[in-house]
Amino acid sequence: MSSQRVLRHDDLDQLVDEVAEAWTRTVLRLQETQEVINIGLTGGQTANRVYERFAHVAPGRGLRPEGIRLWWSDECFLPTSDPQRNALQALAILARTLPISRTETHPMPGSDGQDDPDEAAFAYARDLGETVLDICLLGLGTDGHVAGLFPGRVPSDASSSQVVGITDAPVGCQERISLSYAALNRSERIWVVASGEPKADALARTLAKDPDSPASHLDPRGELVWWVDEDAALALPSYHCEL
């Protein structure tokens, strides 16, 4: 069972700064002993702000971009050039300052290359193989969803298959591809970012291990960190210590 921490921050700006800094430090530490670092990216406004900050702080720190392989935890099943795709948004941000090699990026297949989400999921599972993500970044939905795994709509094979096709997502893109629990929980580290009061109830239910919250089933090999701001933590217990 993974070790779990909840790291609270005063506001979204501080949250984004701390995640980007921790990401940079972790990659630098791992590159002391590993030639290749596998990182899973997610989508969303907060995630994109983290990428902006990482792209700002990482250059000049001795980080080797050529040793970083980028994967995605979920994606809209849309043409590869569609601006709604998580990969297109993330790469547009990171490539501004980091020389990211095309051979080291692994976006999920688009609808212009595969017939349906299930076929795309099968193709991505072959690409992923037995890859272990050193860091997997995720966002938390207001309903407790992570990646493309939504309450009441988690595919039955999400605990065995590595990647699953989604055809009935209740928000955003209805058709998606998503890493399954099997692939997510193979990660060494899962970092979940949650900001804003609308996430407060979902975060509290998830940390209370509500089985109906998909995020409550995250259990990586190593650490599970919840990066949250004060608004997202409103429904969590508060402790005040005086020395």
| Pairing verdict, β 189-194 and 135-139 | parallel
Structure confidence by residue, pLDDT tens digits, 177-235 = 999 999 999 999 999 999 999 999 999 999 999 999 999 999 999 999 999 999 999 99
pLDDT band at 138 (very low <50, low <70, confident <90, very high): very high
Q: Which residues contact 177 (CB under 8 A, 6 or more apart)?
A: 74, 75, 77, 108, 109, 117, 120, 121, 124, 148, 163, 164, 165, 166
Residue where the block lists tokens 């009441």: 152
Digit-coded pLDDT (tens) for 41-95 = 999 999 999 999 999 999 889 999 999 999 999 999 999 999 999 999 999 999 9
Beta bridge pairs of residue 191: 137, 225
26: tokens are: 């972790």
In angstroms, the CA 83 to CA 88 distance is 6
Burial 122-156 (b: 16+ CB within 10 A, else e): bbbbeebeebebbbbbbbbbebbbbbbbbbebbbe
Tens digit of each residue's pLDDT (9 = 90 or more) over 152-190: 988 877 677 899 999 999 988 999 999 999 999 999 999
Domains and their CATH numbers in the chain: 3-223 (3.40.50.1360)
